[in-house]
Amino acid sequence: MRRLIFIIILIFVAERCFSHGVGYSLIKNGVGIKVFYEDIEKTPMSYSEVKIFSPQDKTSEFQTGVTDKNGCFVFLPDTKGKWRIVVNDGMGHGLVKEIEIQDNFKVSDQQIVNFSLWQKILIGISIIFGVTGILFYLTTRRIGVKDAHS
């Protein structure tokens, strides 16, 4: 029974490690973004809704559209400053990213550190071993208490 519970937990954590993450890379030679799911294949977020907000008006969209089949979306900013890009695939996955457009319309990316796939796997395995260790500790402690009363 313990093995079955361990396998179910392992599958659940492994599935969480390989899904529900969203990554991105900036498109060079243009102002844009390429979005993808953080699975093993880095599947593109094809045909996802995109909203662009300018530095002057953070409430009204400067531009809207959808990513192409490769998860790419490019836009032409009309001023420098921090532009906000909101991507939503309509299935619960999304990304909000701010990019800095400089004087010469070059992109400065404020990189947010994301865990790599291997780091996620290591964290998942650590959680599994931690929970398993706690369960084994509690069961052996109960057995020890029962033996002491006998």
- What is the tens place of the pLDDT at every residue in 3-50? 777 666 666 665 555 555 677 776 655 678 889 988 878 889 999 999
- The DSSP secondary-structure symbol of 111 reads P
Global pTM exceeds 0.85 = no
Q: What are phi and psi of 49, to 5 degrees?
A: -70, 135
Fold assignment, 2-142:
Immunoglobulin-like (2.60.40)
CA distance 73 to 147: 67
**Strand extents, DSSP E, the chain:** 22-26, 31-37, 49-53, 63-66, 72-75, 81-88, 94-101, 107-109
Domain residue extents for the chain: 2-142
Q: What is the pLDDT of residues 52-68, one digit of tens each?
A: 999 998 899 999 999 99
Q: Are strands 49-53 and 81-88 parallel, antiparallel or unpaired?
A: antiparallel
Q: What does DSSP say about strands 31-37 and 72-75: parallel, antiparallel, or unpaired?
A: antiparallel
* Amino acid in the structure at residue 57: D
The tens digit of pLDDT for each residue in 95-114 reads 888 888 887 666 655 545 56
Sheet holding 94-101, edge to edge: 63-66, 49-53, 81-88, 94-101, 107-109
Q: Is 129 helix (H, G, I), strand (E, B) or coil?
A: helix
**What letter represents residue 88's amino acid?**
N
